[in-house]
Amino acid sequence: MKLVFDMNLTPNWVTWLSNRGLEAVHWESVGLRDATDVEIMGWAESESRVVVTNDLDFGQILALTHANGPSVVLIRGSKVLPSQVGDIVVGVLMKYAQELEQGALIVIDELRHRVRVLPL
């Protein structure tokens, strides 16, 4: 599974996940800082990457367009650093790898997670 982290999450996620065997890039290393969410989603779709974000707009775009991808993982709450929720995020990514491969929206917070298969 290949991931791309949105600008609203720290680039530290990339190193943290690579140390756990997951491939990730941060948007600032592959695209323009002021790219729109739609541009990021288009790139992620073309590169077969899962978007990881803290931005509710990505889920809204999936819902409004009835798109089949890209998959989006939405990290919610006040704790969004890898040191705070990294183990939870990795666990969810591994548990739902097949759903993410096929197209899904996953919302993760400290206490629970929800999975919706695309299209919404």
| Cα dihedral 63→70→108→74 (10° resolution) | -70
State the pLDDT confidence band at 32, using cuts at 50, 70 and 90: very high
- Does the structural domain 2-117 have CATH classification 3.40.1710? no
Residue 110, pLDDT above cutoff 90: no
Q: What is the mean pLDDT of the chain?
A: 96
pLDDT at position 62 over 90: yes
As a whole-number percent, the residues of the chain with pLDDT over 70 amount to 100
Please answer whether residues 96 and 108 qualify as being in contact, where contact means their C-beta atoms are separated by less than 8 angstroms. no
> pTM of the entire structure?
0.97
- Calculate mean pLDDT across residues 82-107: 97
pLDDT tops 90 at residue 91? yes
How far is the first Cα of the chain from the last one, in angstroms, to the nearest whole number?
A: 22
Query: Average of pLDDT values for 45-70?
Result: 97
- Cα–Cα distance, 73 to 68 (Å, whole number): 14
Residue ranges of the domains in the chain?
2-117
